[in-house]
A and B are shown apart, each in its own frame.
Chain A
């Protein structure tokens, strides 16, 4: 493992060096300047982009000056350019006294936001991100108009985080649509958005959104710094970003949260977290994240507090089952037979009578089989996926037991564990539990419950030592903070969640006004003291 990490380090160093060289390779200043001859400019673009066939050049004439429109087919809105610009040019007569460049600019304004570009860097960046560039013969500058208009996926229902009562829209791959979805939910001037480009080659657009005056300035700054530090050729998805801005690399637990639901991200922003939106991914990262957050589902807030409290405690319980379920079975049947009630012990013993493997191997076989089935079913087309699950159910549920390879109790244990694992709302947290489960099984095999207990101890130490953007991962629990218990194990009624979590947000802390407890306001006697308590 240490060798592996060393290798990784070496590779990273090399890659950094490569990037460094790319960055440091300075273009000569004169090469940066746009040329006066539009034909030269066109040939320069063709040369730089390797004469790519999706590049479109259309020539036009304005006030006797020749010019070219350059854009990339599929990225820019071609219809817009044709309708509004080229057609109107060919129709009209122009006053020759007017400055041709200015005329062109006036025309182009109708297309979208407009900039005057003087350097090649800007030109290439704009073309590649879907803008249109206008060159005019005799001018060493160009017009850069925002005409982004590619085909995008429509807003659909979220596919990974379902909710029963919440809104049904999800983010899409387009950054602007995502930011708009958040904006639509928080109509406050304090919702600030900053954007940057990350990735040496991919130049991926990234936006961070936060609520000014609520978000902790230090954390916002830290997020920005960590994002700026990223030095990679390409950012494919928010998963990349996530792994590059974590506090601690050596952990299975997610220390940032990601969601494809705008309502979840919005509520996180309202609590003072920072959202990181990456173009090309429908998953938005929010940070900092704490442990308990991965057990909060959007429906918790849409249903009544008592119900959601019960369900949340159930989820935490099932997380424990998912981690130590098979381990307890192993420990119980191989070390602590005295703990099992007599009749049950005899029943299990009878079932295991014909099983050829020790309990650990039996559990391992079943768990691994199940993981394989799950992994296979995950990526298959839906139709084939069903076939896999049928085969799985038959193989695991029936045949294995009938063949005497595993005992029925083991099947029950594996099923309970699997179902418990599914009940964790966050996939990232659930997958961490899956991995830890195998370690726990190993420990249970060595030393029974003592091993399991030590494993849990180890896990607790690890969890307590984690941080997410400087915030202790187990925050409102350890270090314990009484005032922040409003949304931990017990989800307080909405009217009682008066403050934002103190450990995340700074500044404006008030979330709910006074005396929000509902009830008939007719009897004045009831009001005063009850409303307070």
Chain B
């Protein structure tokens, strides 16, 4: 036995020498792919661009570094994602490493036609993370977004992922959607996926140039813009601005947002900011037909009151609550209408019906889209204004006197 242990140890100790080509990979041999952009190619099916980080230029080291550009873009084309990813190695001196990829960008063209031909590669690969954020580039090729630089963040990819996060937390018009979420929507019968849209406005040419960062106001502006609606894996339309917020709200992803209401004839006079909000979607069966019930509970505070309103009066506050409830309800209902027009169940109403009444679901599953378009949706909002900031009544009251 002793001899066995000794031999085993010697064998193990010999392994480092022999194992050079296994899974061991030195950090300095890796090219960290931070973002991938997929465009339609000219000859081949896809044109894929890889954003690779240059560590020396990102990390602050004593005595040098941080001078050059933080990223480099390489692109290649191929009929499959794997083919493109492998052929790009002709251009890169290091092994591409996908575990830290935070973002995958599709051009609108790809989203409209061939996104299904890409997703399996992303789902199957053990290195690639399915928690990677997904974004659809509107108008311009995906490469523009992948190659763009940012002035606030060292890593440009962080600009995009953090921007989505901040929007989700503060505005609620976009939300974090990763590959997992997309696939779950794609596979399940009773729900269709949505994906964040991004748009570059201004001087598109300047997006990837370092000199653009010298301006305090960059010439190319990147911004999240709308939610892409998918159906059967194909992009069929966009939901914009407030309607997009409705989607996020129904999916119970809103953390904070602002609701503006009219007061005494003055438009958008009062702003209410929600602190927490909760959406409950439930299905009921009425006369053999499914009915969806959306219940929203919402708490907030008044962040702006640009009119003469007595905020010390609980009755007035109650009135504001009523108005807010109506406003939210209106927004939600227009959103639902929009989706019904596209016949895409992005809210997962079908899943609710499925869970509520599996037998009914089996019957209507095959043409759920038609059912969805005519679905009866009831919205009930309970809104509570808890406090009104650090002032009682607005100065408008004094101006009046």
Identify which of A335, A351, A355 gathers the most chain B CB atoms within 10 Å of its CB: A351
Complex-state Cα separation, A357 to B34, whole angstroms: 26
Shortest distance between the CB of A381 and any CB in chain B (Å): 36
| B5 CB contacts on chain A under 8 angstroms | 250
Chain B residues numbered 22-69 whose CB sits less than 8 Å from any CB in chain A: 23-28, 30, 32, 34, 53, 55-56, 58-59, 61, 65
Distance, CA A418 to CA B144, complexed state (A): 49
CB of B150, distance to nearest CB on chain A (Å): 15
B359 proximal to A (CB < 8 A): no
B13 contacts chain A at the CB level, 8 A cutoff? yes
Interface band, chain A: 20 to 34
A442 contacts chain B at the CB level, 8 A cutoff: yes
Q: Determine if A360 is an interface residue (Cβ-Cβ < 8 Å).
A: yes
Q: Is the CB of B26 within 8 A of A333?
A: yes
The reply on A212 being an interface residue by CB < 8 A is no
Q: Are B99 and A446 in contact (CB under 8 A)?
A: no
Task: Decide yes or no whether B390 CB sits under 8 A from chain A.
Answer: no
Most chain B beta-carbon neighbours within 10 Å: one of A351, A360, A446: A446
For B3, list chain A residues within 8 Å (CB): 1-2
A359 to B3, CA, bound (A): 31
Interface residue stretch chosen among A162-170, A184-192, A339-347: A339-347
Query: Is A346 a contact of B25 with CB atoms below 8 Å?
Result: no
Indicate whether B374 reaches chain A with its CB closer than 8 angstroms: no
Inter-chain contact B58/A346, CB cutoff 8 Å: yes
A187 to chain B, nearest CB (A): 48
Interface of B is mostly: mixed
Known: A2-B6, A360-B16. A350 touches B24 (CB 8 A): no
Given contacts A346-B55, A353-B55, A446-B19, contact A338 B2 (CB under 8 A): no
How far apart are B146's CB and chain A's nearest CB, in angstroms? 16
| A:1-24 near B, CB below 8 Å | 1-2, 5
Complex contacts, A335 vs chain B, CB 8 Å: 23-25
B15 within 8 A of A: yes
The CB with the most chain B CB atoms within 10 A, among A350, A359, A448, is that of A350
- Contact partners of B15 in chain A: CB under 8 A: 446-447
Check B23 against A333 for contact (C-beta < 8 Å): no
Option from A2, A5, A337, A448 in Cβ contact (under 8 Å) with B27: A337
Chain B CB within 8 A of A368 CB: no
Contacts of B12 in A (CB 8 A): 442-443, 446
Chain A, 340-380, CB within 8 A of any chain B CB: 342-343, 345-353, 355, 358-360
Contact at B6–A347, with CB atoms within 8 Å? no
**Contact partners of A439 in chain B: CB under 8 A:** 9
A338, B100: Cβ atoms closer than 8 Å: yes
CB nearest to B126 among chain A residues: A338
Are the CB atoms of A445 and B27 closer together than 8 Å?
A: no
Residues on the A chain within 8 Å of B371, using CB = none
Q: Does the CB pair A338–B129 fall under 8 Å?
A: yes
B26–A334 CB distance below 8 A: yes
In the complex, what residue of chain B is closest to A345 when comparing beta carbons? B100
Pairwise interchain contact A442-B55, C-beta atoms closer than 8 A: no
Whether B100 and A445, one on each chain, are in contact in the complex, defined by CB atoms closer than 8 angstroms, is: no
* Contact residues of A: prevailing secondary structure: helix
Residue among A333, A338, A347 facing the most chain B CB atoms (10 A cut-off): A338
Beta-carbon contact of B32 and A346 below 8 Å: yes
Is B301's beta carbon under 8 Å from chain A?
Answer: no
CB proximity of B11 to chain A, nearest CB, Å = 10
Tell me the minimal C-beta distance from A354 to chain B in angstroms: 9
Q: Inside 8 A of B34's CB, which chain A residues have their CB? A: 342
Give CA–CA (A352, B56) in the complex, Å.
9
Report yes or no: A333 in contact with B127, Cβ–Cβ below 8 A: no
Q: Smallest CB–CB gap between B98 and chain A, Å?
A: 9
Taking CB atoms and an 8 Å cut-off, the chain B residues in 103-135 that contact chain A are 127, 129
* Chain A residue with the shortest CB-CB distance to B25: A334
Find chain A residues with CB under 8 A from B74 CB: none
B6 lies within 8 A of A350 (CB): no
Q: In the complex, what's the smallest C-beta–C-beta distance from B145 to chain A, in angstroms?
A: 19
Taking the closest CB of chain A, its distance from the CB of B101, in whole angstroms, is 9
User: A337 touches which one: B9, B19, B30 (CB < 8 A)?
Assistant: B30
* B65-A350 in contact (CB<8A): yes
Q: Which of A432-478 contact B (CB under 8 A)?
A: 439, 442-443, 445-448
In the complex, the answer to whether A350 meets B25 with C-beta atoms within 8 Å is no
Q: What B residues does A358 contact at CB under 8 A?
A: 26
A304–B32 alpha-carbon span in the complex (Å): 50
B97 contacts the other chain (CB 8 A): yes
Known contacts A2-B6, A346-B55, A350-B59; A359/B100 CB under 8 A = no
By a CB distance below 8 angstroms, the chain A residues around B6 are: 1-2
- Residue interface mask B153-186, A partner, CB < 8 A = 1: 0010000000000000000000000000000000
Q: How far is A5 from B99 in the complex, measured between Cα atoms in Å? A: 48
Q: Is B307 an interface residue (CB 8 A)?
A: no
Which of the residues B16, B26, B65, B102 comes within 8 Å of A342, measured between beta carbons? B102
Residues of B near any A CB (own CB < 8 A) = 2-3, 5-6, 9, 12-13, 15-16, 19, 23-28, 30, 32, 34, 53, 55-56, 58-59, 61, 65, 97, 99-100, 102, 127, 129, 155
Binding site for B on A (CB under 8 A): 1-2, 5, 250, 333-335, 337-338, 342-343, 345-353, 355, 358-360, 439, 442-443, 445-448
**What are 20 A-B contacts defined by CB distance under 8 Å?**
A1-B6, A250-B2, A250-B5, A333-B26, A333-B27, A334-B27, A337-B99, A342-B32, A342-B34, A345-B100, A346-B53, A347-B55, A347-B58, A348-B27, A349-B28, A350-B56, A351-B59, A359-B27, A439-B9, A445-B16
Listed from nearest, the 7 A-B pairs whose CB atoms lie closest are: A338-B99, A350-B59, A350-B55, A349-B55, A446-B15, A1-B6, A349-B27
Besides A337-B99, A350-B61, A447-B19, 12 new A-B residue pairs in contact (Cβ under 8 A), listed by A number: A2-B3, A334-B24, A334-B25, A337-B27, A345-B100, A348-B27, A350-B59, A352-B26, A353-B55, A442-B13, A445-B24, A448-B23
